[in-house]
């Protein structure tokens, strides 16, 4: 049995509504196997948390980089709130130990788990916002996610990855990258895309996102890292 009080001790955020905390960790697949659980899955909380996360991140970047233009701030925000970084942050916060998943999802610890962790982080932010208010949500994000900003800026990971990978691919391998949708899941209001980047006919890397554009940027960044083309 998962004891969410242990997570509250870790984060030092004690919920008034314990069901809200638990709901943040409930994946849709768990409800399918446990329909009598009495709680719903975390997708509504994720929807709210995504907006809270975007506002707090935008406010932080706006103040931290007063000389950056809108396009640069947008690219930097996209690099900061992408699924790969958020899933790493969620894992570091210990969220993986508290996930409520179906037996099948529990066995899958690959890319699918990475995406579930990223969504859970957003759902938890939504739950904190509802239970504790904006300031506590801000403190949690400031402590867990925003410290990654300096690394993203110093390594220039915020640059438009698609433009950069096209430039490097043409220079080093003589190909213009092509992108193909590999998987598409979720209802119309909450689509998740997995896109592959190809040089010639060869699949180089994959990326995920809530839009095709976001997934293509993620795939392009993954290809840049794989080829060691980030200078």
- Please give the model's pTM, rounded to 2 decimal places: 0.74
What average pLDDT is seen over the chain? 89
* Run of H or E including 6: helix 4-11
- Our answer to whether residue 50 is catalytic in this structure is yes
- Which pLDDT score is estimated for 83? 81
Hey, what are 60's tokens? 């932080």
Q: Check residues 7 and 105 and name the one with the higher pLDDT.
A: 7
Q: What is the mean pLDDT of residues 54-69?
A: 95
pLDDT digits (tens, 9 = 90+) for 150-195: 887 876 666 678 888 998 999 999 999 999 999 998 877 778 899 9
For 102-139, what is each residue's pLDDT tens digit? 887 777 766 678 889 999 999 999 999 999 999 999 99
| 231: confidence class by pLDDT, cuts 50, 70, 90 | low
Per-residue pLDDT reduced to its tens digit, 203-218: 999 998 878 888 898 8
pLDDT at position 221 is: 85
Strand order in the sheet with 202-209: 178-185, 192-199, 202-209
pLDDT computed for residue 11 by the predictor: 95
Domains along the sequence of the chain with CATH: 4-154 (1.10.1520.10), 161-226 (3.30.160.20)
Q: Which range has the worst mean pLDDT, 31-45, 71-85, 132-146? A: 71-85
Q: Which of 46, 105, 122, 216 is catalytic?
A: 122
Compute the distance between CA of residue 1 and CA of residue 170 in angstroms, rounded to an integer.
54
Confidence at residue 162, expressed as pLDDT on a 0 to 100 scale: 87
Q: Output 66 or 162, whichever has higher pLDDT.
A: 66
Residue appearing with tokens 């009598």 = 36
Among residues 6, 8, 46, 50, the one annotated as catalytic is 50
Q: What is the pLDDT of residue 205?
A: 94
- Residue 33 scores a pLDDT above 80: yes
pLDDT of 69: 87
Residues 6+ apart with CB under 8 A from 207: 194, 195, 197, 215, 216, 217, 218, 219, 220, 221, 222
Which residue bears the tokens 């958020």? 86
């Amino acid at each position: 049995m998962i004891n969410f009080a242990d997570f509250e001790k870790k984060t030092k955020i004690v919920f008034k509504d314990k069901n809200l905390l638990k709901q943040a960790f409930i994946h849709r697949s768990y409800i399918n196997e446990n329909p009598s659980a009495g709680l719903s899955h975390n997708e509504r909380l994720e929807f709210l948390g995504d907006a809270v996360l975007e506002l707090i991140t935008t406010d932080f970047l706006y103040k931290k980089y007063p000389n950056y233009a809108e396009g640069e701030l947008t690219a930097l925000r996209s690099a900061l709130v992408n699924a790969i970084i958020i899933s790493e942050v969620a894992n570091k916060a210990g969220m993986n130990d508290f996930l409520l998943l179906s037996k099948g999802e529990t066995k899958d610890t690959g890319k699918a788990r990475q995406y579930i962790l990223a969504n859970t982080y957003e759902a938890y932010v939504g739950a904190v916002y509802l239970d504790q208010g904006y300031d506590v949500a801000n403190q949690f994000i400031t402590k867990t996610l925003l410290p990654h900003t300096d690394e993203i800026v110093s390594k220039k990971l915020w640059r438009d990855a698609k433009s950069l990978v096209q430039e490097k691919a043409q220079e080093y391998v003589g190909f213009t990258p092509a992108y193909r949708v590999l998987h598409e899941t979720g209802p119309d209001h909450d689509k998740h895309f997995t896109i592959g980047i190809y040089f010639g006919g060869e699949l180089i890397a994959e990326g995920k996102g809530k839009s095709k554009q976001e997934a293509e940027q993620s795939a392009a960044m993954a290809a840049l890292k794989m080829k060691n083309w980030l200078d």
